[in-house]
Amino acid sequence: MEQTEIIGHIFKQQFEIEPEVICYAPGRVNLLGDHTDYNDGFVLPAAIDAGTTIAASRRDDDQVVAFAEGYSTNVDCFSLENIAFSHEEMWRNYVRGTLKCLRKSHTNFGGVNLAITGNVPQGAGLSSSASFEMAILKTIVALYQLDLDGVTAALMGQRAENEFVGCQCGIMDQLVSALGLEGHAMLLDCRSLTFKDAPIPDGMVILVVNSNVKRGLVDSEYNARRQQCEEVARILNVPALRDVSLEQLNGAKRNLSQEQYRRARHVVTENARTIATMTAMQTNDVKTLGSLMGQSHDSLRYDYEVTTKELDGLVCIINSVINDAGGVRMTGGGFGGCVVALIPAELEQAVIAAVEAQYSSQFGLEAEIYRCHASTGAFRVGNRNYI
Ligand code: GLA
């Protein structure tokens, strides 16, 4: 792996010793089920072949010395005994927040030297932050031989985001970054945290197209959506929107504002679509899969209102090439970022050509196109040079 080599060298330059371990955790793309995870619902993400790689060694004191490649202020140094929020560079808070959460349950680890690099595009909705958090945890677990399973690690990363970084995200990104399976997406029940692996249909490829609209107000808008859902659950007297059927929701319509009703309708129908998509994947039913992806995008566009004109435009451009031979939708939190397309391999070049010919002329922005391979979750790199 190229990143492994690079980060090994950087570590040696920075710390003048060999790293003891190198660990990696991927970003993710979500095939179906957006804004359902924090409603205790269902999601269908896949880990991708881009992620965060960390080379590390133990220290004799309680200091964390972190070097992050590619940032303007790229060194952070703090004591494990006193971990505070950094207002200078956001990347520091993923290290600090994750270690602060780990410290609450595990005190049997000491200081570390870390060299960090990553190739998940930031602000694109591909979970560069979850990959960062899971890579940090994998690294400390490997260095200090801690007992920490993937689900607990994912919950810890989510807690770091919720309590330290200030984003009220759900569990999807961290969980698939920790436990994704090569060649598969994962149907995750975000209440029980149990999951089934969903094979990517034969002959299909995952294309991710970045609209290059940076997610602006995402955190406040994201948190606001979550609050709206919780409010509707309270009005309907259920623990979460997961517990509501469309009939129940329609029956309670008069107790809700128009906006509350539409937000909840997205969540309720998206849960059903996510489960149906799993079945379509298992039976290689590409036509149904494509139709469900299209319905999901429309629901996120009109009911949940988290798309942008650029995301809608990309969906339209790609749909005109694939018709019912695959599917395309926005993916992740929305308000910018990427669309994901699941398409037959033979249409890949035509889709790329259509995006290149139409997107920048319509929207004045350059799209970036990544072909993603559904990949394995976090792991320690098994290189004989590193124990
Ligand atoms: C972000 C969050 C996830 C999830 C998605 C929307 O990626 O981190 O927890 O809520 O948005 O599905």
Summarised one tens digit per residue, pLDDT across range 111-141 is 999 999 999 998 888 999 999 999 999 999 9
- Total domains in the fold of the chain: 1
How far is the centre of ligand 1, averaged over its atoms, from the C-alpha of 170 (Å)? Answer: 6
Structural domain contains residue 123: yes
Burial class for 314, CB neighbours closer than 10 Å (0-12, 13-18, 19+): buried
Q: How far apart are CA 166 and CA 148, in angstroms?
A: 24
Structural domain contains residue 70: yes
Structural domain contains residue 315: no
For ligand 1, atom 2, the nearest C-alpha belongs to: 169
Say which amino acid occupies 321.
V
Say which amino acid occupies 124.
A
229 lines ligand 1 (CB under 6 A): no
Please give the pLDDT value at position 214: 82
Structural domain contains residue 354: no
180 lines ligand 1 (CB under 6 A): no
332 lines ligand 1 (CB under 6 A): yes
Q: How far apart are CA 112 and CA 96, in angstroms?
A: 12
Q: Is 40 annotated in the active site?
A: no
Q: Relative to the CA of 35, which ligand 1 atom is closest?
A: 12
Q: 112-118 and 75-79: which strand pairing?
A: unpaired
Structural domain contains residue 299: no
Which residue range forms the structural domain that includes residue 142? 3-196
How far is the centre of ligand 1, averaged over its atoms, from the C-alpha of 102 (Å)? Answer: 22
Structural domain contains residue 350: no
pTM: 0.95
Yes or no: say if 328 and 322 are a contact pair by the CB < 8 Å rule: yes
- pLDDT of 108 strictly over 60: yes
DSSP at 306: -
For ligand 1, atom 8, the nearest C-alpha belongs to: 169
Q: How far apart are CA 104 and CA 163, in angstroms?
A: 13
Q: How far apart are CA 214 and CA 225, in angstroms?
A: 19
Residue 385 — very low, low, confident or very high, per pLDDT cuts 50/70/90? very low
Please give the pLDDT value at position 211: 97
Structural domain contains residue 216: no
- pLDDT of 218 strictly over 90: no
34 lines ligand 1 (CB under 6 A): yes
Q: Which of 147, 173, 219, 243 is catalytic?
A: 173
40 lines ligand 1 (CB under 6 A): no
For ligand 1, atom 1, the nearest C-alpha belongs to: 333
Domain at 95, CATH number: 3.30.230.10
Structural domain contains residue 44: yes
